[in-house]
Amino acid sequence: MSYSLFGQVLGVRKFANGDIEVDFYHEDEVTQYRYSSDSSRLSNFPKELTEALASTLATDICIEIFFGDDGNPTHIELEECADDDLDDDEIDEDSILEES
What ranges do the domains of the chain cover? 3-99
- The reported pLDDT for the residue numbered 41 is 79
Report which of 9, 15, 6, 20 is spatially closest to residue 58, judged by C-alpha positions. Answer: 9
Mean pLDDT of the chain: 85
Q: Residue 18, class by beta-carbon neighbours within 10 Å (0-12 exposed, 13-18 middle, 19+ buried)?
A: exposed
Q: Are 71 and 2 in contact (CB under 8 A)?
A: no
Sign of the C-alpha dihedral computed for residues 73, 71, 64 and 26 taken in this order: negative
- The reported pLDDT for the residue numbered 100 is 44
| pLDDT over 90 at 20, yes or no | yes
The model carries a pTM of 0.74
| pLDDT over 50 at 87, yes or no | no
Q: State in Å, rounded, how far the first CA of the chain is from the last one.
A: 58
CATH of domain 3-99: 2.40.50
> For residues 92 and 5, which has the higher predicted lDDT (pLDDT)?
5
Going by the DSSP 8-state scheme, the letter that residue 15 receives in this structure is: -
